Every structure is written in C-alpha cells, then in structure tokens.
Amino acid sequence: MKILLTGGSSRLANAIVTELGKEHQLRLIDSVPVAVPASVEFIQGSILDPDICSNAVQGVDAVIHTAELPHDLPVMGLEREQFLLDLTTRGTHVLFKAGVQAGIKKFLYAGTLTVFDAYPDDVYISELWKPLPSSQINQMAKYLGEFTAREFTRDHRITVTGLRLGELVLEDEVKKEPANPTWLDLRDAAHAFQCVLNRDNSQSIRWTGRWAIYHICADIPNPKFLIDQAARIGYTPKHNFETHYQQVHC
C-alpha cells in the first residue's frame, strides 16, 4: 500500500515510518525539510496549498493525517492561533478534498484525548462520551480538525478513521515523572495506525458506518480511558508504564 503521511518532521511521523516502512511505500509531506530514508518519498510544502496536496495524493492508497504542529509555526500570539486553526480546519479540508478527487478511499486522522481534560481522572471514558474541549488553542484546533475529517464521510463514499491519541512520550523518557493516565508511547501510537490501516467501510450506505473513532493510550490499572474498542481492531500496547503503577500500588 502507498501511504501519504503528513507532519513528516514530527516524532509521531517518525514512529509511523518505523512501524509501516517495511510493509508499505511511504510519502511524507511537511512545510519544513525532512531527512528521510532512501525508500521514503518526501514532498516539501503546506497542506494549505491545493496544488501541493493534489501532487502529494497522486498514486496514493491511503492518507494518514497526523495533524502535528509544524516547526515553522508562529511562536506566539494571535497570528499563531489563527494559523493553527487555519491549518487544522482548512488544511484538513484541502488535503481530504484532494484525496477524494484522486480516488483515495482510506483516510486516518490523529485527534487528541485532551478533549476530555475537563472530566475528573476517576471516571471511565469510552468513545461514547461527549468531548468537552476547552478554548486552549492546541486542543480546540485538533478537535475542529477531527470534525472536518468526519464531515467528509457524510458526502463521500470514503472510510475515515479517527484515533484520539494520548500524550505522546517514550516510556524511557518519563521514568522519573509522576504517572499520567493519558500517556501513550509513540511506538504504540504507530501500532494503532497499523491496526486501522486495513479498515474499509467505504461502501457503507450510512455515513456513520464509514466513520469510526478510537481512543488510544496505554493499558494501565484503573484507566481513565477505555481502549476496549481499539482492542477489537487489534490494538495491543506494549509500553504500559508498569514501573509507575507498581510503585503506586506498593
């Protein structure tokens, strides 16, 4: 399968390349230069540019939209917020529209579990719970991008899968930090994309069949986020921060 992967300079994209690179052809896109293996294609440009997106989706079977922040994002202030909202909403629309016009049937979008931050940590949250995003720009932008991705399933016979990811870390990097119920090892995040890559409900009559959302985080004791739905599609996280939770229960 040939896959277009956005946010090519991000740690998430790097983890996905490692996970999928042996079995699939990968094409990365980012607004900044990215060093890639010889087997991986790279296109430099913004997903806000329809011509760039049209070129990027040619010959592609699936799109993984990481919606990760580019390194050339304005540092602060209103300009940063406006650019980020534009990138996650209009950018997602431009990218998906180009993909639909190119005949692509599979789209994956990386959302965030931070849209449930308003809930206490002693509840069990499934995909049926209502997100309560705050006005914090990174959180709201990701959520609006998820909405944009979902709406494409209303009008087109395509499969769109949303993965709401936890806080992306590497298990070894957080050994000395307090346990966090939203942690997700980057390697397990990449594994989740592998699990849903073959999902194809493009011919479903109902748009709700063409759309699916999964919560992706570590498998920990008394979790805030339930990952039963993800488990049904083969998601089995290997990095579950056992050291932290062994210490908690001592």
Half-sphere exposure of 22 (CA within 13 A, CB side): 4
pTM, whole model, 2 decimals? 0.94
Token readout for 132 is 């309560």
Dmax (CA) for the chain in angstroms is 58
- Residue 249 pLDDT > 50, yes or no? no
Show me where the domains of the chain are located.
2-248
Token readout for 123 is 């509840």
- Residue 82 pLDDT > 50, yes or no? yes
d(CA 213, CA 9) in angstroms, rounded, equals 25
* CA proximity to 102, closest of 65, 64, 59: 59
> Would you place residue 147 in the very low, low, confident or very high pLDDT band (cuts 50, 70, 90)?
very high
Task: Give the least confident one: 58-67, 202-211, 221-230, 239-248.
Answer: 239-248
E strand map for the chain: 2-6, 25-30, 41-44, 62-65, 106-112, 159-165, 167-169, 183-185, 211-216
- Residue 50 pLDDT > 70, yes or no? yes
Residue 23 burial by Cβ neighbours in a 10 Å radius (0-12, 13-18, 19+): exposed
d(CA 27, CA 48) in angstroms, rounded, equals 17
d(CA 102, CA 59) in angstroms, rounded, equals 8
Are 195 and 108 in contact by the 8 Å Cβ rule? The answer is no
Q: What is the model's pLDDT at position 59?
A: 97
Range 2-248: architecture per CATH: 3-Layer(aba) Sandwich (3.40)
Cβ neighbours, 10 Å, residue 198:
12
